[in-house]
Structures are given as C-alpha cells and as structure tokens.
Structure 1
C-alpha cells in the first residue's frame, strides 16, 4: 500500500522569510511522513490543483490555516475538484487546537510576558463567521493557559483591529500588554503588529516541534491504514 503524499496548503506571502518558514515546516513534516509538497491559495504558487496534478499516487491535503474561513471551506475544495486527482483526502484545518494555544503561550514567555500582563490574540481576520468563531475558541484556549482574559484583535477584514484593542487596554490601566501573533509565518500581517503599541509582539507560530506533530497527526488521521505503520505506532494513531 502506497503512503499518501502530504500537500501542505498555506495562504501565501510576498515575504521571503515567510515562504522560507513554510518550506521549513514542510521539510520538518517530510522527515516524518515522507513526500510533502507545499501549495498556496493566494499571492503566489503553486496552487493546490497544480501540485495535485503532479502527484501519481494518493494524497492528503492539510490546510495549514488557524481558522476555517473562505480558504478552507471554498478555495481548498475547489482546488481539489479542479485537479481531477482521483484519490485525495482533506483534513481539518490546524486551528483551533490546544497544541496551538500551548505554542502561543511559549511564544509569549519568550517575548517577556509574565502572569498578570494583558494579552491580545492577533488574528488575520475574516468575513466568515465560522472563522471568527474559531478565533474566539482559540482565545478561550489561550486564556485557560495564561490564567486571565485574552482579548481578540484582527489585522484585517474583521473588527476590532489590534491597535484599537491595545489602546482600550491602555485606557483600562494595563501597564504591560503583549500581542500573541496568531499567524503561521512572517509576512505583511505580522509586520503590522509592530505598530500596534504593545510592549511586546510574539513571533508567529513558525516551525515549532509541536506544530510539526500537529500537522503529522492531521495527516495520519486522514491517511489511516495507508500511513507508514511505524509512524502510526509512534504517535499512537490507530
């Protein structure tokens, strides 16, 4: 039985650093599952349909999105259909997930956050209410870990915007405010967070070992019996 190739689908960015981070994430995943390809749904290529057309065997598409909005519900299924590939399985998006919340907490601590400091979860934003619901869930998961409220701010599309939320917290008397970048990689959206007026902005989720394992787990769940047996046993996926 041929193990399916993993197609990691990301948003896309003009930031060379961001593209390198996505490539490094795919490389780390490939070291565990085998053939892994990267595709993008916006800004640059290759598109998921282009990548799938180049694959002969079965494939598992993993949408590397932190909330399920238009790209997950519309773009990815359309690209899969357009590819004409006969054997494709699509996993759930990465977020919300407790693993991501734990990585966000680590990023906050690395940036200098201490218990009692205010936290703003900075998400890309979406006009899809399903995606906004996912972001609220992610904020709730992070709040459990930081032991206090987590406000939500958006970089684009949705309201309120991150600088507005930081300003409100200043007005409420918070002396130290940290922005948790709920973004996968560097790019225009992450760069904007530096002007939000916070005391610290975390790095994006990036190439974190736990994020790699989350991607692998998504793949294994979809691949099922076709996944490498040793890998399934190692991660206790049945």
Structure 2
C-alpha cells in the first residue's frame, strides 16, 4: 500500500506541530487503513527525508508526499522537490510522488469561514475582515489570498474584506485594518489563512490590535482532512496512469 507522508513547514512553536498531528489524526479517522505519517521541512522533527527512509524500512515501496501548504510558494516549488530528490537518489526502490499543495480549494475557504464564525464573527453588519496570510516573494501565492478576499467582499455583507500579509508582501496588517476602518468598518476581525499556529500567525494577531477578533488557524478541520486525502488520491491516480501508459 502507498503511504501518505504529509509535510508541513515546521515551527519552533510546539503548537504548530501539535496542530499538524491533530489534523493527521482526523485523516486517519477518515481512512483507517492508510499509513499516514507526519514530517516537516524545518524547525520541527521528524524531517521529510527521515520519514521517507522510515517508510521504506517499514516495507513500503511507494509513498505520496502531500505538502500541507496553502499555496505554491518557495517551499512547494523548491524545498519539497529537493528533499524528495535527495531521498530518491539514495533509495531508488522507493517510488515517491509529490501531491499538489492544498490551495486553492473551496474546502479551505469553508474552513477559514467556520473558524471566523467560531470566534463570534457573524454575517453582515459592521465587521471589517482581514484575510491574513504568510506573504511570499512569489506573487501568484499572494494573489491567491487577495482573490479570496475579493470574493468574500462581494458576497459576505460585511463592511469590507481585504487581504493582508505577515511578511514580505503588501499590504501589512495595520495597513489593511486602517483601510477597513476608513471604509466604514467599526469592528475588525482577522480570518486566518494559516494551517497551524506559529510565529507568523502570532505576529498577525499582535499587529491587528487589542480590539480585533482573531480567528484560529484552519487546523484539524474535517474538510481540510478530506482535502489532504483528495490530494493523495489524485497523486496516486496520476502515478498509476504513468505506469500503465
């Protein structure tokens, strides 16, 4: 059976790895027969290469690496393929495929909106909502978050919705909050475009100000878990099609 090796960025904050493990526990509940492993690119253990070697030692001959990343920024385009290539060179008998990143997908948006509702942000009214993401030097990754914010702005009934970024990209969170208040928002809420807690989500919460309502990251949401399995299944199907061609 093909193993599912999920890989997250990693963080010095232990809440981040704990949240990744909670998400994968939901994946295991949805598919108990699947061997699901957690791994990290940096700052947390175990690392991706070590987990792939462990999977091979356990008798698997194929694995799918599912990046727990919300967009195709540097980690998805460089770090994950590089780590997989390094292992493939040393373990040619392990067939490793890389699944697509989690975003974009409507299930992520649903999860973000549920987290916002759980924080007490209701539909309509005088809320100004900041959709906060990490930020990247890769413009398409930022555009994904901006597009979602624009879509929410058209259909939410809130006073306004705008994207903001914790690092690298503009606007930053204070600028986004100021724009929303200038547009008539009396209350500020922050929707999280982060999978797990960590340095950048904490920075977003701090910069939003003491009066802002900050939703938790997407975390172990059932639809996010379904999406992880969807990405895994698509990669398995693509690999089988290549083999049979």
- Deviation for aligned residue 1:46: 2.5
DSSP-derived class of the 1:210 partner? helix
DSSP-derived class of the 1:55 partner? helix
| Contact 2:73/2:138 (8 A) holds in 1 | yes
Could you tell me the TM-score, scaled by structure 2's length? 0.84
Residue 202 of structure 1 corresponds to 215
Equivalences, count: 225
Residue 37 of structure 2 corresponds to 37
Q: Unaligned regions of 5+ residues in structure 2, if any?
A: 241-245
DSSP-derived class of the 1:72 partner? helix
Q: Structure 1 residues 53, 13: closer, same or farther in 2, change over 3 A?
A: same
**What is the rounded CA distance, in whole Å, between the counterparts of 2:52 and 2:154 in structure 1?**
39
- Greater Cα shift, 71-80 or 162-171: 162-171
- Deviation for aligned residue 1:138: 3.2
2:177 alignment partner, one of 166, 172, 185: 166
CA RMSD of aligned residues (A): 2.1
Residue 135 of structure 1 corresponds to 145
- Deviation for aligned residue 1:171: 2.9
Q: Do structure 1's residue 48 and structure 2's residue 48 form an aligned pair?
A: yes
Q: Structure 1 residues 217, 119: closer, same or farther in 2, change over 3 A?
A: same
Residue 72 of structure 1 corresponds to 76
1:124 alignment partner, one of 123, 134, 147: 134
Q: Do structure 1's residue 12 and structure 2's residue 20 form an aligned pair?
A: no
| Contact 1:14/1:43 (8 A) holds in 2 | yes
**What is the rounded CA distance, in whole Å, between the counterparts of 1:68 and 1:121 in structure 2?**
18
Q: Unaligned regions of 5+ residues in structure 1, if any?
A: 228-238
2:115 alignment partner, one of 91, 107, 115: 107
